[in-house]
Every structure is written in structure tokens, then in C-alpha cells.
Structure 1
């Protein structure tokens, strides 16, 4: 049981990382990576995934204060979940809004 508690966060985070990397590779090959017109909007778009990871780590550290979960396990889970949420934020923010003219 102890081995499962040690390996489960690693397996989950590895699965999340492989998913995000494979999706980004697919988007690169297809040529559908998000592009914004202004430089500041593009910088924000490019930094959503790392910001998500940092926020995930901060939340994980705060949770480790209140719950009896080891810091390395919760820290890796926080980074992985932050990576996933950062990717989803990237997907949402990179969508081009089409304006319909009536």
C-alpha cells in the first residue's frame, strides 16, 4: 500500500504531462497554435501553462499545511494539475472569436 501512495502521484503527473505535450505537438504539426495580434496578449498566452504550474504548486503547499500529505507528493500533484489547468486556459484563451455581421 505504501508503494501505491508513493507511485500514484508520479503516475498521474506523468500521464498529465504526456497528454499536454502530445496535444501541443499535435497542434504544432497542424499549425493551430494560438496566435494573438498584440505582443502583450501573445506573451500572456505563452505564459498561461507555466503560471498554471506555479499556482498549482502554491495551492499544493497550502494544502500540505492543512492535510497530512507528504510535501513531495502534494507538490508534484499540484504542479501536474496546474499544468493541466494551464493547458485548458491556453486552449480557451487561444480560441479566435469570430464576429458575425448581421
Structure 2
């Protein structure tokens, strides 16, 4: 049982990473990766995925302190869920029109 609990977070994080990287690669190859015209909007767009990972790690640390789950598991699962949430935020924001985008 301990072996399974050690492998599950790695499999989930790996699956999320493969999904996100595969989707971004597909969008890049098609030429429709999200781009904004203003520099500030582009910086915000590019920071969604790393900020999602940081927020996920923070939530994982907080949950690891209050529940009897391994801190390493909660941090890795939090980072992978944050990575996925950051990707979805990236997708949503890249489709929205902002001031300066024609």
C-alpha cells in the first residue's frame, strides 16, 4: 500500500504534464498559440502557468499541515493541479480580447 501511495502522485503529475505540454505543442504547431499585442498583457498571459504551480504548491503545503497525507505528496499534487489550472487560465485569457488587441 505504501508503494502505491508513493507512485500515484508521480503518475498524476506526469499525466498532467504530458497533457499540458501536448496541448501547447499542438497549438504551437498550428500557429494559434495565445499572443497579446500589449507587452503587459503578454507578460500576464505567460505567467499564468508558473503562478498556478506556485499557488498549487502553497495549497498543497497548507493541506499537508492539516491532514495526515505526506507533505511530498501534497506538494507534488498541488503543483500538478496548479499547473493544470494555470493552463486553463492561459487558454481562457488567450481567447479574450483586451485593450490593444484588434
Q: 1:96 offset after TM fit, Å?
A: 4.1
Alignment of 1:70-89 (within 5 A): 70-89=70-89
Q: Secondary structure at the match of 2:29?
A: helix
> 2:62 — aligned with what?
62
Q: 1:14 offset after TM fit, Å?
A: 0.2
d(CA) in 1 for partners of 2:43 and 2:66? 35
RMSD: 0.8
Q: 1:37 offset after TM fit, Å?
A: 1.4
Where in structure 2 are there 5+ consecutive unaligned residues? 98-102
Where in structure 1 are there 5+ consecutive unaligned residues? 98-102
| TM-score, structure 1 as length reference | 0.92
d(CA) in 2 for partners of 1:67 and 1:49? 26
d(CA) in 2 for partners of 1:51 and 1:27? 21
Matched length: 97
| TM-score, structure 2 as length reference | 0.92
Deviations 1:31-60 (A, max 9, x none): 011111110000000010000000000000
> 1:36 — aligned with what?
36
Deviations 1:54-100 (A, max 9, x none): 00000000111110111111110011000000000000000044xxx
